Copies of this chain bind each other. A is one copy, B any other.
């Protein structure tokens, strides 16, 4: 039975728990996260954590959903320039490696197949509509909008913190990043530009 904090001091603690939990879960996953470490980092105690969030699983739910919101809002799609969108995603992964790690922990620990979240429509709808419109206007290639979205996101993650090849980090020199950005931009552009078969709206 989670309860909301009732005072402003409580609200501040609530937020510190969220922040600390985001970092802890991003680093260690659900099974690996330690409640003890979270309350220490949040400068609070277990009683508060359990009063506000119920248990470890529901605490994860709370931080995961707000992380999803963030990544969707901070990097909105531009269906007329998917290449630029991919590059902005590349930069966001550098800025907040924890968010993409959280998503991947969810995939591995909770949802081995299918959509990552039950409410995927809530997150995908705007992107899919945008892609479909750009297709109708002949500005990007045909094909299932969902598949195109998945592919462009996958390309943006080539050097992400969950890459199976190489995980980039903000410590690397700038020119390495711009080299990757250039390649990414150019390849997404070429992959998504309309083909001969793609007729503008007839």
- Interface of A toward B, CB cutoff 8 Å: 27-29, 31-32, 97, 100-101, 103-105, 107-109, 111-116, 143-144, 146-151, 153-155, 157-159, 161-169, 179-180, 183-184, 187-188, 190-193
Contacts and interface: CB of A to CB of B under 8 A. Distances in A.
A127 to B, nearest CB: 10
Each complex incorporates copies of this chain amounting to 2
Given A144-B183, A147-B183, A148-B183, A153 B161 contact: no
Contact of A163 (B32, B101, B154): B154
Given A105-B108, A113-B169, A147-B179, A157 B159 contact: no
- Top 9 closest A-B pairs, CB basis? A154-B158, A187-B191, A31-B32, A150-B165, A103-B164, A113-B169, A31-B31, A151-B158, A150-B158
A196 to B, nearest CB: 12
B150 A100 contact: no
A164 B104 contact: yes
Nearest to A164: B103
Nearest to A106: B164
Contacts of A146: 166
28 contacts: A28-B31, A28-B109, A29-B29, A29-B109, A101-B108, A103-B164, A104-B108, A114-B166, A114-B167, A114-B169, A144-B179, A144-B183, A147-B158, A147-B159, A147-B183, A148-B183, A150-B165, A151-B155, A151-B183, A153-B158, A154-B154, A154-B155, A154-B157, A154-B165, A155-B155, A155-B158, A190-B191, A191-B191
Nearest to A28: B31
Given A164-B100, A183-B147, A191-B190, A32 B109 contact: yes
A108 B155 CA distance: 19
Contacts of A188: 191
